[in-house]
Amino acid sequence: MSCTYTYPPRINDQETVVQRTFWFTELRSKEQLDLREDINYAGRITYHCSDKNCSLKIWDLKLNDQAEYKFSFETNQPDRSLTSSAGVFLTVTALQVTIQSKSECKTYYCAWLELSCHSSCLPSHSSFLWYKNGKEIPDKTQQKYSDYFYRGDSVSCAVRGHESFHSPLVCGYRGQCNKVSYTERSICAFRGSSVIISCSHQGLNSDSSGSWISVRGQQAFNQNTGKYRFQVRTHQDRSSLTISDLTDSDSDEYRLKSTWWYNDFPGTTLTVVDPHVEVIRSSSEQELVCHSSCFPLHRFPFMWFKNEEEVLGETSYSYRKPVSPEDTYSCSYEGQRSPEVCKMIYNWKQSSGL
């Protein structure tokens, strides 16, 4: 979503300088909280602002991201803050499989189901994909699908072009089936850090808690795995895989598998990146931003340093105190410290006429 904004170049002989630009939503907080500082959006948003145009990109959308998003900017003038009166309302929907009709077979543990894949906002002329027990059903591209389902069978659907976003699984026979629900479908983490991949499950045999596998690496991990970096924990209907001291080769898709399941449910994709962080200037002309190719989800705070000393009270993604060309600045995230910057800031201030 994007917007454009304007402002008078001068007021009372004072040149107008934009000092801050940000997006916010009023549904989460009465205050105008910069989304970059909202833990609910950590690692999922980015701004692109230039030439009086500012866009907001949100990925890995969640149902509670549905809200009205507004843009605001601050200047050095007396009435410094300006906020749009109306914003962009984002509607987030999910695909659902609904049972249109159902009849049980004459044999045990079987049912004939007529199903439909729907959502409140589907692209026109959508082509669909159907999955039975996690495997794509060939040549099934219509919104409706009918088949026999036995005990343990599950079904889901997706829109072609958006295959990573399946509908929730539906059990084909009397609510009895094998299924897995992963806490996160994708995780980004720093090299050398630790990560927990977890899921809830239904249908595991009571004598087996299943094994975690890496899809491309073709490795299996369970409670008896002797690899010190991998630890599996299970508790009733939940299971988790902890990987410590992450390396580049750990980037993979991880799934919970069982010999009792005849399915192939999509898992959690882990991406391991260089823990390098850096300080960049924001397009708002007065703001410094701590940047990385990946900030892991739901983890704060950031730390800022001025002339090698920690700046007390600055624990957010951005640094908005006045900056001086004589000082050096750096940021830190989870112990990863950025290089110091000073010349960059000085050149920027000179070229901006500040």
Residues 6+ apart with CB under 8 A from 343: none
Q: Are strands 81-83 and 53-58 parallel, antiparallel or unpaired?
A: unpaired
Residue whose C-alpha is closest to residue 201's, from 230, 232, 225: 232
Q: Which residue has the tokens 């629900």?
A: 181
Q: What is the mean pLDDT of the chain?
A: 81
Contact (Cβ atoms closer than 8 angstroms) between residue 267 and residue 182: yes
Within a 10 A sphere around the Cβ of 167, how many other Cβ atoms?
A: 20
Query: Which residue segments constitute the domains of the chain, with CATH numbers given?
Result: 1-92 (2.60.40.10), 96-177 (2.60.40), 180-273 (2.60.40.10), 275-354 (2.60.40.10)
pTM of the model: 0.68
If you count them, how many residues does the chain have? 354
**CA–CA distance, 256 with 114 (Å, rounded to integer):** 29
pLDDT digits (tens, 9 = 90+) for 245-293: 999 999 999 998 876 665 667 789 999 988 777 877 665 556 787 877 7
The residue with greater pLDDT, 314 or 96, is 96
Across the range 188-208, mean pLDDT stands at 79
Within a 10 A sphere around the Cβ of 262, how many other Cβ atoms?
A: 12
Q: Are strands 186-190 and 268-273 parallel, antiparallel or unpaired?
A: parallel
Q: How far is CA 149 from CA 100, 166, 192, in A?
A: 14, 19, 45
In the chain, % of residues over pLDDT 70: 87
Q: Which residue has the tokens 């010349």?
A: 343
pLDDT for the residue numbered 77? 82
